[in-house]
């Protein structure tokens, strides 16, 4: 099943995929562009992974000081930074390098504490697509990547669908790609994750309790390029979804 959360007709609804678009829980069938898409579930703690694909680690190697055998580089985001499918993301006028990151998002369905790798996948409710923007101009070397780079309003896009785990045969064999204005700029495959999904659940649940609705953004492969105001950025993961986002400028937000 593919599930979504949308705003329509003055309320927030749960919806499922339908041949013409989506169907609300009350039976109404609607086109994709008739609703406002929200992140597809009630989001709890957002845990993101940095440098979890070897090729992306190499791409950033000039500025990276992490070795292959270090523990996963995990950081947190707050749910306030999230927006849904077909949303707008603000590019500040003073930014010189703002890039997308297409990532497989793993949604926790069952509480997880000290879960061994062999049992980890039972705790997964499903998967969605994340586009986790970063603005490198604001990087500082304290708790890097700092929240001003990674936890900005509108800069974490999630959706469109939460795809049930039972419907994904192998989450470690999914092609990812990003298209900017229709041109492919990033390609990868989840088989190249350095710490795979059970490894991440084992690592994280070893020191913190994961709860239903918590989500792990598993990292991005190489191919991050700057985006500009007006660009349409599409993040695709095979079998999971096609997440559309548009970059907008300061003027829409009343910032001169």
Partner 1 sequence: MGAGLLAIFESLAHPHGAAVATDAPVARWSALAANQSGPAFMPPVRGSVYGTLLNHADALAALGEQGNGAPYKAPPRAPVLYIKPRNTLSGHREPVVVPADVPEVEIGATLGIVIGTTACRITGADALSFVAGYTVVNDISIPHASFYRPSLRFKCRDGFCPIGPAVVARKMVSDPNSLNVAISIDGRTVQRSRTDRLIRPVAKLLADVTEFMTLRPGDVLMVGVAAGAPRARAGQRVTVAIDGVGVLETPLVAADGR
Which residues in this chain contact partner 1 in the complex, by CB under 8 A? 44-45, 47, 65, 71, 73-81, 113, 138, 140-148, 151-153, 204, 207-211
**Shortest distance in whole angstroms from residue 66 CB to partner 1:** 8
- The pair of three-digit structure tokens given for residue 12, joined into one six-digit string: 């927030």
* Cβ closest to partner 1, residue 30 vs residue 134: 134
**Shortest distance in whole angstroms from residue 236 CB to partner 1:** 28
Based on DSSP, count helices (H) and strands (E) in the chain, helices before strands: 3, 19
* Cβ closest to partner 1, residue 35 vs residue 215: 215
Gap between the Cα atoms of 36 and 9, Å rounded: 10
* Cβ closest to partner 1, residue 146 vs residue 226: 146
* Cβ closest to partner 1, residue 78 vs residue 119: 78
**Shortest distance in whole angstroms from residue 243 CB to partner 1:** 22
Dihedral, CA of residue 153, residue 154, residue 156 and residue 161, to nearest 10? 140
Report the 10 Å Cβ neighbour count for 250: 15
**Shortest distance in whole angstroms from residue 152 CB to partner 1:** 5
* Cβ closest to partner 1, residue 113 vs residue 173: 113
**Shortest distance in whole angstroms from residue 207 CB to partner 1:** 5
Give the burial class of 243: count Cβ atoms within 10 A of its Cβ; 0-12 exposed, 13-18 middle, 19 or more buried.
Answer: buried
Q: How far is CA 172 from CA 48, 143, 197, in A?
A: 17, 29, 8
């Amino acid at each position: 099943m593919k599930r979504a959360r949308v705003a329509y007709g003055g309320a927030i609804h749960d919806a499922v995929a339908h041949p013409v678009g989506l169907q609300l829980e009350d039976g109404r069938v609607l086109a994709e562009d008739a609703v406002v898409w929200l992140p597809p579930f009630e989001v709890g703690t957002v845990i993101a992974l940095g440098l979890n694909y070897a090729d992306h680690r190499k791409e950033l190697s000039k500025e990276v000081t992490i070795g292959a055998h270090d523990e996963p580089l995990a950081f947190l985001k707050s749910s306030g930074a999230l927006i849904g499918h077909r949303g707008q993301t603000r590019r500040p006028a003073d930014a010189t390098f703002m890039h997308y990151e297409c990532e497989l998002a793993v949604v926790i369905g069952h509480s997880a504490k000290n879960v061994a790798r062999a049992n980890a996948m039972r705790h997964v409710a499903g998967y969605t697509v994340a586009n986790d923007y970063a603005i490198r101009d604001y990087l500082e070397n304290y708790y890097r990547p700092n929240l001003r780079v990674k936890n900005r309003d509108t800069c974490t896009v999630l959706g469109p669908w939460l795809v049930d785990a039972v419907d994904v045969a192998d989450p470690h064999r999914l092609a990812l790609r990003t298209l900017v204005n229709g041109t492919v700029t990033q390609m990868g495959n989840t088989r190249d994750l350095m710490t795979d999904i059970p490894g991440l659940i084992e690592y994280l649940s070893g020191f913190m309790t994961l709860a239903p609705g918590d989500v792990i953004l598993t990292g991005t492969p190489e191919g991050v390029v700057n985006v500009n105001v007006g660009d349409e950025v599409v993040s695709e993961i095979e079998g999971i979804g096609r997440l559309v986002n548009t970059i907008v400028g300061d003027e829409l937000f009343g910032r001169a």
